Every structure is written in structure tokens, then in C-alpha cells.
A and B are shown apart, each in its own frame.
Chain A
Amino acid sequence: DTAVSQTPKYLVTQMGNDKSIKCEQNLGHDTMYWYKQDSKKFLKIMFSYNNKELIINETVPNRFSPKSPDKAHLNLHINSLELGDSAVYFCASSLGQQPSTDTQYFGPGTRLTVL
């Protein structure tokens, strides 16, 4: 059973397009996250949601819009894609009861390539 799943695994698209990445967790966790990993493997948090409420919103262009329809899903929509958006995007989840010590469980990643 996949704990945190993301679709699609690979996404190749043209500059200026709009695309979405979906994430689902079946762990019963309350908190979900989006991270961006650049070509040098550096990971940076973008957003987190706790029970569908936005908690962390880092300095991310407003072309990126997260949406949480329920606490098991956190989707990422990106408008007007740019070359610099090419990266691997990871979804993660955690229990949410002790955020500072909770283990975060990561999905397999979505490799986005903008041409």
C-alpha cells in the first residue's frame, strides 16, 4: 500500500502552460506539505496544510496555488510555467499533533520539466 502517492511521476510541458500535480496520503495524517528540490538536490518547503488550513506559505510566486479538498489530498497548481520551475516536487505528510518532532513521510516525487 502506497502511503503518500503523487501523480504524475513525470511532467514535461511548454513554458506558459498551466499544470497540476496531485498528492494523496492514506496514513490518516492531518498535515501535508509541498517541497521543491532543485537540480543540485537542495530541498525547500513551499507550503503546508493542517486539516485543510494553510499553515506555512513560504516566499513562492503566486503562480503556485495549493489546494486541499480534504485532509488526505493536497494538490499543487502552477500557472504560466517558467523554465525555472523545472524541478522535482515532493509531497509529504505528518501526523500533525507534534509538528516539531513528527516524522514527515514523503511521496516519490514529480519531475517537472519546462521546455
Chain B
Amino acid sequence: GDSVTQMEGPVTLSEEAFLTINCTYTATGYPSLFWYVQYPGEGLQLLLKATKADDKGSNKGFEATYRKETTSFHLEKGSVQVSDSAVYFCALSPNAGGTSYGKLTFGQGTILTVHP
């Protein structure tokens, strides 16, 4: 079945450092890929997404490129802020129909802490 693997956390960085959170997936066909973020005490919210190979999703200075050849969707940010401290989830949604249509499969989440 479908699966998503994220780099182990937690990740601790100083403000203005470069961030990479690795994400690889296993799926049939061409899934859509997402990064969701969960701030402390809140629900998840979409950070960015890409729906086909070579698409780049971007939002709030974060970027991720859908790489089909390496089945990856790594999250990057050039200069993190304290306010970026959160849990980041990589997820996929199958593009085929059927009973899995719309089902998000999540990675295990990566806790990011940014210090001043």
C-alpha cells in the first residue's frame, strides 16, 4: 500500500538557518503530494502541495518539488524563524479513483524547533 517516510526528528535550528526536511513516498501511479503544518495546540493546515511530477509548491518561503524519479518531496526554507516552530507532515493522496480516493496517507511528522 501507499506509504510516506519523513526524516526523523526532532530538528533544532537557530533562527535564519537553512531547513531541509526529507520526504519520500511509495505509491502506485502519480499521487498528489502535500506538506501540512501543525502549530502547537492547533489542527493541521496546508503549507503547500504539488499535483504532478516536477511541480514546485511554495508558500511562506517554504518550497518543495515533486520528484518522480526519486519519489521525493523534500521541504526547504532558506531562513527559518522562531514562528516556524511546529510539526511538519508530508502526505500523499492517490490520483486513482475507488475507495482510496481522497485518502491522505501521512508521514510520521517532524518536530521543528527554532531558537532565537
Which A residues are within 8 Å of any B CB, using their own CB? Answer: 4, 31, 33, 40-45, 48, 50, 55-56, 90, 92, 94, 96, 99-109
**B64-104 vs A, Cβ < 8 Å mask (1 yes, 0 no):** 00000000000000000000000101000111100111111
Residue of A nearest to B93 (CB): A100
> How far apart are B39's CB and chain A's nearest CB, in angstroms?
11
Residue of B nearest to A41 (CB): B109
A101 to B52, CA, bound (A): 10
Contact, CB under 8 Å: A56 / B102 = yes
Residue of B31, B44, B87, B99 touching A100 (CB-CB under 8 A): B31
Contact, CB under 8 Å: B103 / A42 = no
Residue of B nearest to A111 (CB): B41
> B105 — which chain A residues lie within 8 A by C-beta?
45
> How far apart are A92's CB and chain B's nearest CB, in angstroms?
8
> A103 — which chain B residues lie within 8 A by C-beta?
34, 46, 49
Question: Is B25 an interface residue when CB atoms closer than 8 A count as contact?
Answer: no
Query: Can you list 28 residue pairs at the A/B interface with Cβ under 8 Å?
Result: A33-B104, A41-B87, A41-B108, A43-B89, A43-B106, A48-B102, A55-B99, A55-B101, A56-B100, A90-B44, A92-B43, A94-B102, A96-B102, A99-B102, A100-B32, A100-B51, A100-B93, A100-B95, A100-B96, A101-B32, A101-B51, A103-B34, A105-B46, A106-B43, A106-B44, A106-B45, A108-B41, A109-B43
A102 to B34, CA, bound (A): 10
Contact, CB under 8 Å: B102 / A90 = no
Interface centre among B99, B101, B104 (most CB of A within 10 A): B104
